[in-house]
Amino acid sequence: MVFLMYMGIANWGGLLILQKVVGTQFETPSFLYFCGVALVVFSTRRIVDQRRERIKRVAAERHAYAVSTRDPLTQLPNRRQFQSEVSAALKSSNNIMSILLLGLDHFRKLNEVYGHLGCDEALVQIGSRIRDCAKSGDIVARIGDDEFALCLPGADPETAHRVACSLVETVKKPVQIGIEHHSIGASVGITQAGRGHMTVDELLRCAHVALSRARNTHTECCFFDPKMDAHVRERSLLEKDLRAAIGGYDIRPYYQPIVDLKTRRIVSFESLARWHHPMNGLVTPDTFLPIAEELGLINVLSGQLFGDACRDAATWPEYISLSFNFSPTQFSDRNFAQDVLTILSDTGLPAHRLEAEITESALVADFEATRHAIQTLRNSGVRIVIDDFGTGYSGLSHLYELRFDKLKIDKRFIKELGKSTESDVFLRAIFGLCKGLDLCITAEGIENDAQADAAFRHGAHQGQGFLFSEAVPASAVSQLLAGSLPAQRIAVA
């Protein structure tokens, strides 16, 4: 209204100026008529413009809201919206509810095969199937690239499990990508909410732990269990510590002697990794090597250990060799053999003083790459040892196809020596085979004289075990070689 009055006065002012300029006096009724028409035209235009602006603003706000709360691909609520809806549901009800987290299996591989567009097609179909599985009141969302979350208010564990299983079945049905049909597996982690004061983030974290467990154990659905959580926390701490330990060179090679069973003289040392953990003390490799492998740090760690071991071994007497354990992953790497030879030359350890230990699992993992690495190393003078023989899955044909220099019989067979006919029969067969192939045999895990004698009688050339010595730090090697550790058992070569 004020605006209209202002415009009226402005119009009147304008008219007075016009009168002055033109020099004509307008009559009062025409002036008023003129003012009225101008006012009506002007205010109508303003009203129309304002309405248009309001409609535009509402549409823009709606769009911004949709973008911030919906997944643009599947049109399902996104993580943010899921969090706000579940959080509201948690506040408004004391009833139990189940949170389900569904993860698609091998999604990254699917991306590699079909590309982003193909994956998008698959996700749209899967998203719509998951939405169809939900009943009214359930909250369904896509909360990650390959993750969907559901909140089922009022659902007890039994119902949640039933829904989870039917979700997996539904998702598994083939999706159409272009002209192809592809089946995508899924796993579900389930957690219960309602009792206690957990936030949505905490609930999702628990469901995530359960999902990882489902994936690792190849069970389609898995419930969260607090013990699982403790394990995950412990493990993530260990991962953090391990990264720091590798960065700080806190994992060092220790050396266990291998002796000639006839003379009881040391012929070589096997490098065994030991981690000086600030809280847990000396940690053995079975604890940290699988984690280093999973974290993709095994090559870095092994490179450090191998470099250290070669430098140490270069200071030992000429006739003492170094045995080093290489992981199956390393043997699958095309540059592996060349890297080993480079480190040997950098550290000054001659190739003929190195024994590369390889387990049967490397042969199963990537036979061709392993064969190539073995050939390159052998051609340079490195001896190849097959470790833990009898515990893996490789066939005897591998012994025939690949040239090894030495075979180590696993400690579990040595323990059984003379105790069971089966293990004696097995060992006799292996010893016979090795003799025929002209392979040196080392018996592992010798803990007493009886085992050392029995292994020798069966035909083992060398022995390794606590009877002779445990693995010792580099600084104690010279004492072992001097015969002062552990006294009588070992003679100096």
451 binds ligand C2E, rule: CB under 6 A: no
CA distance 194 to 175: 35
CB of 428 to ligand C2E, least distance (A): 22
Q: Which is nearer to ligand C2E, 417 or 471 (CB)?
A: 471
**φ, ψ for residue 248 (rounded to 5)?**
-95, 10
For ligand C2E, give the closer residue by CB, 192 or 271. 271
Cβ nearer to ligand C2E, comparing 119 with 385: 385
Which range of residues in 26-34, 117-125, 275-283, 324-332 is near Ca ion by CB under 5 A? 324-332
Work out which of 98, 325, 329, 451 binds Ca ion, going by CB under 5 A: 325
If binding is defined by CB under 6 A, does position 272 make contact with ligand C2E? yes
Decide which of ligand C2E, Ca ion, none touches 465; Cβ closer than 5 to 8 Å per partner kind.
ligand C2E
- H, E, C per residue of the chain: CHHHHHHHHHHHHHHHHHHHHHCCCCCHHHHHHHHHHHHHHHHHHHHHHHHHHHHHHHHHHHHHHHHHHECCCCCCECHHHHHHHHHHHHHHCCCCEEEEEEEECCHHHHHHHHHHHHHHHHHHHHHHHHHHHCCCCCEEEEEECCEEEEEEECCCHHHHHHHHHHHHHHHHCCEEECCEEECCCEEEEEEEECCCCCCHHHHHHHHHHHHHHHHHCCCCEEECCHHHHHHHHHHHHHHHHHHHHHHCCCEEEEEEEEEECCCCEEEEEEEEEEEEECCCEEECHHHHHHHHHHCCCHHHHHHHHHHHHHHHHCCCCCCCEEEEECCHHHHCCCCHHHHHHHHHHHHCCCHHHEEEEEEHHHHHHCHHHHHHHHHHHHHCCCEEEEEEECCCCCCHHHHHHCCCCEEEECHHHHHHCCCCHHHHHHHHHHHHHHHHHCCEEEECCCCCHHHHHHHHHHCCCEECCCCCCCCECHHHHHHHHCCCCCHHHCECC
Residues 102, 387, 427, 474: which binds Ca ion (CB under 5 A)?
387
Partner from ligand C2E, Ca ion, none contacting 138, C-beta within 5 to 8 A by type: none
Binding partner at 286 among Ca ion, ligand C2E, none, C-beta below 5 to 8 Å by kind: ligand C2E
Instruction: List Cβ neighbours of 125 (8 Å cut-off, separation of 6 or more).
Output: 175, 176
Give the contact letters, 352-371, x = binds to Ca ion (CB under 5 A), - = no.
-----x--------------
Among 466, 473, 483, 486, binds ligand C2E (CB under 6 A): 466
Residue from 203, 266, 289, 313 in contact with ligand C2E (CB under 6 A): 289
Tell me: does residue 220 bind ligand C2E (CB under 6 A): no
Number of residues that bind ligand C2E (CB under 6 A): 24
Pull the structure tokens for residue 152.
């089922």
**Which of residues 147 and 357 has its CB atom nearest to Ca ion in the complex?**
357
Minimum CB–partner distance for residue 230 and ligand C2E (Å)? 25
Per-residue contact string for residues 303-342; x = within reach of ligand C2E by CB under 6 A: --x-------------------xxx---------------
Looking at beta carbons, which residue is closest to ligand C2E? 465
Give whichever of 194 and 445 is closer to Ca ion, judged by the CB atom: 445
The verdict on 454 binding ligand C2E (CB under 6 A) reads: no
Q: How far is the CB of 253 from ligand C2E (least distance, A)?
A: 7
366 contributes a contact to ligand C2E by CB under 6 A:
no
Q: Which of 302, 321, 370, 442 binds ligand C2E (CB under 6 A)?
A: 302
Q: Among residues 268 and 302, whose Cβ is nearest to ligand C2E? A: 302
Of 104 and 356, CB closest to ligand C2E:
356
Of 79, 406, 411, 458, which lies in the binding site for ligand C2E, with binding defined by CB under 6 A? 411
Q: Give the binding site for Ca ion (CB under 5 A).
A: 325, 357, 387-388, 444
Q: Give the binding site for ligand C2E (CB under 6 A).
A: 256, 271-273, 284-286, 289, 302, 305, 325-327, 387-388, 411, 444-447, 464-466, 471
